[in-house]
Amino acid sequence: MVDYFENKAAKWDNPEKIAMANRFVDELKKHVTLNPNWKGLEIGGGTGLVGLQLFPKLKEMVIEDTSEEMLKVLRAKTEGMDNIETLWGDVTDYKNPDIDFVFSNMAFHHIENIPNLLNHLFQICKTGAVVVIGDLRSEDGSFHRFDPIPHRGFDTDELSEQFRNAGFTVQLVQTYHVLKQEKVPGKLSEYEQFILIAHK
């Protein structure tokens, strides 16, 4: 498994990434009332900037990621904590149909086969489960200029259709933030971040 985040992990928890995670958490909490009986699953949870904020509101949580280095940073934070599990590998490696709540921030554009992922999520989610995804709307490729990534953001109509095809009901899709970053020297680019909420 290629780990494109191997060299980013140690410095991931910087003010910019923390602010980005916090904005997603704030937006998520506006729409979803977390339930202390829920089992949560985070996809591409990295160092836990999002998951560790939501964990205290849930019964248990699995944080999945394909980057061993990102998970090492996370494990250093969760040592000795009960009811939180890390999963190194593809989310399709998680097979138990016991998930009440799925969430993911800025990881979907790294995942090649979204329909396959959504079909799998539908299998492991309990009826009534809530899925909350935060990512970029379609961008010109400048966000990851030199890194190989499968998606230059998402056309959210297409993504919503993929959720519906997998069996989910899409409740909400909206832009909640516009990132302004100078990815190309001398050019300030804008990247719209959306939140999508779906139910099984």
Ligand X SMILES: C[S@@+](CC[C@H](N)C(=O)[O-])C[C@H]1O[C@@H](n2cnc3c(N)ncnc32)[C@H](O)[C@@H]1O
Nearer to ligand X, 58 or 70 (CB): 70
CB atoms within 10 A of CB 136: 19
**Residues 32, 67, 73, 84: which binds ligand X (CB under 6 A)?**
67
CB 107, min distance to ligand X, A = 4
**Stretch of residues binding ligand X (CB under 6 A), selected from 30-38, 52-60, 107-115, 174-182:** 107-115
CA 108 from chain centre, in angstroms, equals 6
Q: Which stretch, 32-40, 101-109, 120-128, 138-146, contacts ligand X (CB under 6 A)? A: 101-109
How many Å separate Cα 80 from the centre of its chain? 24
**7, two tokens:** 């060299």
> Which residue is listed with tokens 């297409």?
158
Rule CB under 6 A: choose which of 110, 120, 151, 200 binds ligand X: 110
Site size toward ligand X, by CB under 6 A? 20
Q: Least distance to ligand X from the beta carbon of 115, Å? A: 14
Contact 199, 130 (CB under 8 A): yes
- Considering only 25, 50, 74, 121, the residue that binds ligand X (CB under 6 A) is 50
Q: Render 145-178 in DSSP notation, one character per residue.
A: TTS--S-SSB-HHHHHHHHHHHTPEEEEEEEEEE
Based on the shown chain and the rule CB under 6 A, indicate whether residue 196 belongs to the binding site for ligand X: no
- The number of C-alpha atoms within 13 Å of 154 and in the hemisphere containing its C-beta is 28
Taking the complex as a whole, how short is the minimal distance between the CB of residue 2 and ligand X, in angstroms? Answer: 9
Sequence-ordered alpha helix ranges (H) in the chain: 15-31, 51-54, 68-78, 114-124, 156-166
Concatenated DSSP letters of 35-69: -TTPEEEEES-TTSTTHHHHGGGSSEEEEEES-HH
55 binds ligand X (CB under 6 A): no
Question: Does 65 help bind ligand X (rule: CB under 6 A)?
Answer: yes
Among 28, 32, 44, 132, binds ligand X (CB under 6 A): 44
Is residue 153 near ligand X by the rule CB under 6 A? no
Residue 173 tokens read as 């899709």
136 binds ligand X (CB under 6 A): no
Stretch touching ligand X by CB under 6 A, among 59-67, 153-161, 166-174, 186-194: 59-67
Residue in 173, 174, 169, 172 with CA at minimum distance from that of residue 199: 169
Residues in contact with ligand X by CB under 6 A are 5, 17, 21, 43-46, 49-50, 65-67, 70, 90-91, 105-107, 110-111
